[in-house]
Each structure stands twice: as C-alpha cells, then as structure tokens.
Amino acid sequence: MANVKQESFGKLSDGREAKIFTLRNTKGNELKVTDYGARVVSVRFRDKSFTNKFVLKSYDEVAAYEKDSAAGIVFVDEGEDFSKIIWDAEKTLEGVKFTATIGDKHAEIIYSISNDNEVSIRYEATGAEDITTQLVFSADALPDSDIKPYAEGATEGKISGKNIYDIIDQPAEVLMEVGMFGYDPGCPIDYLEAGLKNAADIFSAPASIDVKVYSTQNKLHVAELDDGFAIKTGGTKSADGKISAQTVYVFKNRK
C-alpha cells in the first residue's frame, strides 16, 4: 500500500517524545498521523494545478496539540485520556496501526491512504461507550464549502452553525476505480462488506476540491469554525461492549 516514513514529532511538556508517520501514495498525496492521541496531523492533496493543499488544521510540532486537543482526533470515550497518551504504533501492510489500553478500555486504530486518495480510519474498542472521529478542515484550503448530507430531509447548502444528521442506513454508492481500496479484493476496504454508507459530500468551488465522506456509524456532526469546519462521525454503540467502525474520506479534484 502506501509508503510509510517514521520521524520524531518533538517532545511534550512532560518530556515524552512523540513520533509522526507519513503515509504517501503514488500520486504524491500524504496522510500524516502521530502516536500522541493516535490523531491525524495533516492531509496533503494536490489540486488540478498540482499545487499542494494542506486541507486540515494542523501544527508542525506535537506540543501544539496539548493546547488544541480537538484537532485531527479520534475520540475513544471522551471522558478518558486517550487523546493525551502515547499510543503503541506499528507499521502494517495497510498503513499504521495504533493500540492503547486505559483500565478496562482497549482501542485499536488503523490509518491508510490509497492511490485514489481514500483516507481510511478503521477502529475498534472494547469497554467503551462510543468511539468517534473528528477532522478539522482548514478554511484556507477549502474556502466557501457546501455540504450535501445523506440524511432524510437534509438539503444541500453552505456549512454553517452546528448540525447533527442521521446517516441514511443504505450501502454506499461508490464508482470503483483502479487504485481505490475496494477495487482489488486484496485491498483493505470493501465498501459493501465493511458496511460503509454515504455520509456527506463536501465541495469547495473556489478550491475545485470535493471531499466524499463514508461511515459505518449513524451520526454525522458538522460544525462551522472561525478558521474552517469540523466533521465528526459517531453514534455506534454495542451491547456486547465491542465497537467496530470505519470512516473514509475521499479527496477528488472537480472536473
């Protein structure tokens, strides 16, 4: 799959050292993740003019995430301190796998990027009430963004305020292309087998970039921010105490 490079990401205020992992596909697009909180650091996407767009709100050193703990994060029970610990990290064929345990709660997260610019966040937890993803997108990279939520009665419009949408419980409609995870049976994502559903289409006309969001969970949270917007998925709970879920972001240039 993607090429993975590991580097130091600096030190936290208490002296702990964090690592950053860069996953790069054959098109030169990148996904960066860190073992501090198992969070996303940045996504670099090349637009139609081959200009690099860093589409997420991000920082160059790990210490900044101590102050802005919500940036690019996967929550595992928001009341716990999973966002403040150093997770165990392992390079895999899919990308990078993070694992962590606090008390009776255990979580695993696998990050991947395909050659068709699918950023996959696959995760599971035991002993947790909920596990959600949240990415904070930059208004500089994706200005004046519209959103089309896949929810009953939802309408297309500008991202504004805070909204929660019920994701329609229907299989994702995906036009498979060479390079996408699900195109090859040996790749880690099969949209139908994974139970992924259409969550939302986001599009920035000024940037000519589309972002398609798929999720196995049933809630989509959208929040307008001063410097961008946040997209959060969640809402899946398991009676047996185990949660398995996945969120996929697909980045495309507008034609």
128-143 residue pLDDT tens: 777 788 899 999 999 9
Position with higher pLDDT, 20 vs 129:
20
CA distance 191 to 195: 6
Check residue 186 and give its pLDDT: 46
CA distances for 170 relative to 75, 92, 234, 247, 248, angstroms: 25, 30, 16, 15, 16
Backbone angles phi, psi at 65, to 5 degrees: -75, -15
Domain of 26: which CATH number?
2.70.98.10
Whether residue 73 contacts residue 134, with contact meaning beta carbons closer than 8 Å, is answered with yes
Host domain of residue 58: 3-253
Whether the pLDDT of residue 165 is over 60: the answer is yes
Position with higher pLDDT, 226 vs 201:
201
CB proximity list for 60: less than 8 A, separation 6 or greater: none
Whether the pLDDT of residue 249 is over 60: the answer is yes
pLDDT band for 227, please (50, 70, 90 cuts): confident
Return the half-sphere exposure (C-beta side, CA atoms, 13 A cut-off) of residue 252. 13
Whether residue 231 contacts residue 222, with contact meaning beta carbons closer than 8 Å, is answered with yes
| Rounded CA Rg of the chain | 17
The predicted model scores a pTM of 0.91
- In this predicted model, what pLDDT tens digit does every residue of 102-115 receive, in sequence order? 888 889 999 999 88
CA distance 190 to 210: 21
Check residue 81 and give its pLDDT: 81
In total, how many domains does the chain have?
A: 1
